[in-house]
A and B are shown apart, each in its own frame.
Chain A
Amino acid sequence: MKERTVQLEVLRYNPDTDTEAHFQRYEVVCQEEWVVLDALNKVKADIDPTLNYRWSCHMAVCGSCGMMINGEPKLSCHAFLRDYEGVIRVEPLAHFPVERDLVTAPDDFMEKLKRVKPYIIPKEKKPISEGEYKQTPAQLMKFRQYSMCINCMLCYAACPQYGLTPSFIGPAALTLAHRYNQDSRDGGRAERQEVVATHEGVWECTFVGACSEVCPAHVDPASALQQMKITSSLDWIVEHLIPGGKSARDTVSREDAGDIS
């Protein structure tokens, strides 16, 4: 196991004492197979215990350790030191306010996740006594890819439209709406359209595609948004150009939907 001395240039921000962020350079001896997160952990353990950052699983499934590494949104547990040369610049995830050091304030994202109603709004409500909702493997595959999101927010950091227009609901939240729309058990598409088909919904997206490029879980949010643009456009035609047309594919009344909290 070979060792390697790595220089990290890390953004520091202390809300109690600072009005601006500044960069701090750390030199840390690492093992060559380490990831950036390992280097940060070594800094915190041996050099500077005041450094703040989020992490948990260290295996790219929890979504906690998202950061900008050399200007690219990455999970720090998924950024291998062997892929970097020279000084490695580590900053908090872009497009989110900085709470402290590398910790961002994800409030906006959390609120948007809730707004798209990310839960099954059953097409047919049935009591538990009638048994489970059944789903074929093919029906599962229709939405499975979009259910793999780990809420790491790398897509929000990558999306320039989110950076330019913070009211944009954003890739992950909209993809989650698509995940439920595609679920055969779900009948809430019309309800979600009230959020999805707005200016702040899919229509802010210009298919830059950066979200899908940085997604560590291969969710491909860009594809979900494009598919929703098409369905939203077809909805619009049905609602506005076809007399008596209703775009809702669901059969759930607003009352029933309100029962689910």
Chain B
Amino acid sequence: MAKSHKPVVWFPFAAGGTVIAFCMPVIVLLTLLAALGHAPAGLDYQNMHVFARSGLGKLIIFGVVALSLWSSAHRLRCTCYDFGLRADTLAATVLYAAAIFGSIASAVFLARI
């Protein structure tokens, strides 16, 4: 039995899980408010644009999105196994690839702002 390379996927999962725990509830609350027609001033184009244009803003947004995507992908991979889907390599490939693709996409969009 060789030592596993699981830390490669687990460490970002742990970091992402922490990010989701601290940041996601309030972010979802903001979009929920927008969904209910009460979008706060911070979500209007001007303010969002200024935030996403700044270096710090880009870093925060990318960090939150990329780590959350990865963490969700990893957890979903384990959940597939728990649900009886034994094709773990397939699930891992599809889900991690989706997370990486989503992260690259957000980087590209952020670069355009």
Contact = CB atoms under 8 A, between A and B. Distances in A.
A164 to B, nearest CB: 8
A226 to B, nearest CB: 10
Contacts of A164: 81-82
A203 B11 contact: no
The A interface is mostly helix, strand or loop, or mixed, namely helix
A67 to B, nearest CB: 25
A203 B81 CA distance: 14
Contact of A198 (B1, B78, B81, B82): B1
Interface string A220-238: 0000000001101101110
Interface residues of A, number: 19
B3 A193 contact: yes
A148 interface: no
Interface string A189-206: 000011101111101001
Contacts of B28: none
Nearest to A197: B3
Contacts, number: 39
B4 A203 contact: yes
Contacts of B5: 236
Interface string A20-37: 000000000000000000
Given A160-B82, A206-B78, A206-B82, A229 B3 contact: no
Contacts of A229: 10
A241 to B, nearest CB: 10
Nearest to B81: A164
Contacts of A198: 1-4
Contacts of B25: none
Given A203-B10, A233-B10, A236-B8, A194 B82 contact: no
Interface residues of B, number: 14
B38 interface: no
Contacts of A232: 7
A237 B3 CA distance: 13
Contacts of B1: 194-195, 198-201
B72 to A, nearest CB: 14
B6 interface: yes
A160 B83 CA distance: 11
Contacts of B78: 206
B12 to A, nearest CB: 10
B4 A197 contact: yes
Interface of B: 1-8, 10-11, 14, 78, 81-82
Given A197-B4, A198-B2, A203-B6, 5 more contacts: A160-B82, A164-B82, A193-B3, A201-B1, A237-B11
